[in-house]
Structure 1
């Protein structure tokens, strides 16, 4: 349970391996990383088009120039196969890999459970930042280090970097606590993207 004071909010959460697995998949699917993957696929496709053409020109060169009659059928056939394989791999990156990311995150935490990440955390949202305390350690993330806040039906994610963030499970929290935490996040993070139902509070 958590209470809030003027300019502060407190929340007690129980972080599980599933929370970290959900966050890993969420980050993987974010538009920022998706655009990066698309650019990588496009660069590879362009490289393949150019490299295949250069190779076939070299193979069919007869001293006067390439043999286009021999080159073009082989080129378009190879291009169709190569681009088809690339398309399948790109789809796998978007629809198969997230499940593997989730499974591997769970497996990693199961093999090496870490009390610093799993279990009970007390989160304090104050003027300076977010303080995170467990039975074994404590630390603080300054507001200046936070890039954005994003809310899902199950979590609030405080994004610190491309692959880093503070995971805030909403399960078991009362409405007043969640509203107090959202208020602190809105007050200190310019890019706070809350769910429509929470925007009105």
Structure 2
């Protein structure tokens, strides 16, 4: 790490397919996307309840109205089976798909490596934002575009949107580098969940 001036820090990282796979699984499990999935499951359950009811009313209609004695047992039995299947699928989404997302992300990057994303990156944290430089390209992310910063045992994630972010691996970094980067993130991003500096 090179400390250029007060309010600046530099970090050199080596991004791998595993880093992107970890980020994809992490984003999938964030509360924002989890709430979105719950709302989707709820909408589907309501649609199923209404559609099954309407179908059985139509099937048992005798000209005066539905045959409730014939319809209701079938309705509640079908409802129990349908909601049970929906619950199993919803649980599968929560517990099985993160692993599949991680595996597919890793496989995609290994098969088609992109040097823009993988390999050595120089990250400069300054008063205006984060500059990301590679051997072939560079770009800057303004602090105003950052929604949140979150830290895991292996990474710092600078969250830009629901599915977008800057991945900062912590492996190979000394305590002083991580401390300087955390200081910059805390200074410029109000919504942070960072580990305490050592």
TM-score band w.r.t. shorter chain? over 0.9
Is 2:161 the partner of 1:151? no
Q: Which runs of 5+ in 1 are unaligned?
A: none
- CA separation in 2, counterparts of 1:151 and 1:110? 25
Aligned to 1:63: 63
User: 1:183: how far off?
Assistant: 0.4
Is 2:2 the partner of 1:3? yes
Moved over 6 A (4+): none
Aligned to 2:127: 127
Q: How many residues align?
A: 197
Measured against aligned partners, the alpha-carbon deviations of 1:37-71 in whole angstroms (never above 9, x if no partner) come to: 00100110011001100110011010111000100
Where 1:178 maps in the other structure, the secondary structure is helix
- CA separation in 2, counterparts of 1:89 and 1:136? 44
- CA separation in 1, counterparts of 2:147 and 2:114? 26
- CA separation in 2, counterparts of 1:154 and 1:112? 24
User: 1:99: how far off?
Assistant: 0.7
- CA separation in 1, counterparts of 2:32 and 2:89? 19
User: 1:192: how far off?
Assistant: 1.2
- Provide the aligned C-alpha RMSD in A: 0.7
- CA separation in 2, counterparts of 1:66 and 1:3? 78
